[in-house]
């Protein structure tokens, strides 16, 4: 495995870990804190770094990734960018007591969970298509990624248990 591929894989997997922690920590807290916002931006930075490196490698490689992977990957980065930006807006508005801030903050976790579940689709497609030991075709990889994201979304959107 080339050093660039290793770094890109590490960056994207770091994005998964960081973003997952941010989303579920924010959900568990029930409110948006500055640490959550930082994790969202860090997750975006890691994903963008890894995706950029993978894109550079794909341009110089004879093997090409399925078009759906590029499309869903770009959509995921744009969603993460919107999510991190909206998190920043909601956080600062709540700090200054803006109108509607409390309601936006209370419902923010639904957006977080939706973006996280959508982000899983290109992550799983890339993993299933890109790992030589798995090497699924495009259609089975897309179906599997949608199944994983659907299960993850069902778990993320289930009502939280209150003590």
Q: How confident is the model at residue 105 (pLDDT cuts 50, 70, 90)?
A: confident
Contact between 61 and 29 under an 8 Å Cβ cutoff? The reply is no
Q: What is the pLDDT of residue 33?
A: 93
Long-range contacts of 77-83 (CB under 8 A, 24+ apart): 77/44, 77/47, 77/48, 77/51, 79/115, 79/118, 79/119, 80/19, 80/40, 80/43, 80/44, 80/47, 80/115, 80/119, 81/44, 82/115, 83/40, 83/111, 83/112, 83/115
Assigned token pair, 80: 């993460």
Q: Which residues, other chains included, contact 31 with Cβ-Cβ below 8 Å and sequence gap of 6+?
A: 94, 105, 106
Closest CA to 25 of 12, 15, 35, 14: 35
Amino acid 147: pLDDT: 92
Residue 100 above 80 pLDDT?
Answer: no
Split at pLDDT 50, 70, 90, the class of 60 is confident
Lowest mean pLDDT among 34-43, 89-98, 99-108: 99-108
Give the angle 14-20-24 at the CA atoms, nearest 5°. 155
pTM of the model: 0.85
pLDDT tens for each residue of 112-148: 989 999 999 999 988 888 777 887 888 888 888 999 9
Please tell me the predicted confidence (pLDDT) of residue 63.
62
Nearest to 111 by CA among 10, 27, 53, 14: 27
pLDDT tens digits for 32-59?
999 999 999 999 999 999 999 988 887 7
pLDDT, position 7: 94
Give every CB contact of residue 136 below 8 A, 6+ residues apart in sequence: 128, 129, 144
- Summary mean pLDDT of the chain: 86
Average pLDDT score over residue span 14-35: 92
């Amino acid at each position: 495995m080339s050093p660039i591929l290793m770094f890109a894989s590490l960056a994207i997997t770091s994005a998964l870990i960081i973003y997952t922690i941010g989303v579920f920590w924010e959900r568990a807290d029930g409110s948006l804190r500055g640490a959550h916002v930082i994790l969202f931006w860090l997750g975006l930075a890691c994903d963008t770094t890894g995706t950029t490196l993978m894109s550079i490698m794909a341009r110089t490689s004879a093997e090409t990734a399925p078009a759906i992977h590029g499309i869903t990957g770009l959509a995921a980065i744009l969603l993460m960018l919107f999510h991190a930006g909206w998190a920043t807006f909601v956080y600062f508005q709540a700090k200054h007591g803006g109108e509607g801030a409390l309601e936006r903050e209370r419902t923010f976790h639904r957006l977080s969970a939706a973006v996280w579940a959508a982000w899983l689709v290109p992550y799983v497609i890339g993993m299933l298509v890109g790992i030589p030991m798995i090497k699924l075709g495009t259609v089975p990889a897309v179906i599997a990624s949608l199944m994983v994201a659907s299960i993850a979304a069902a778990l993320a959107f289930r009502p939280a248990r209150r003590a």
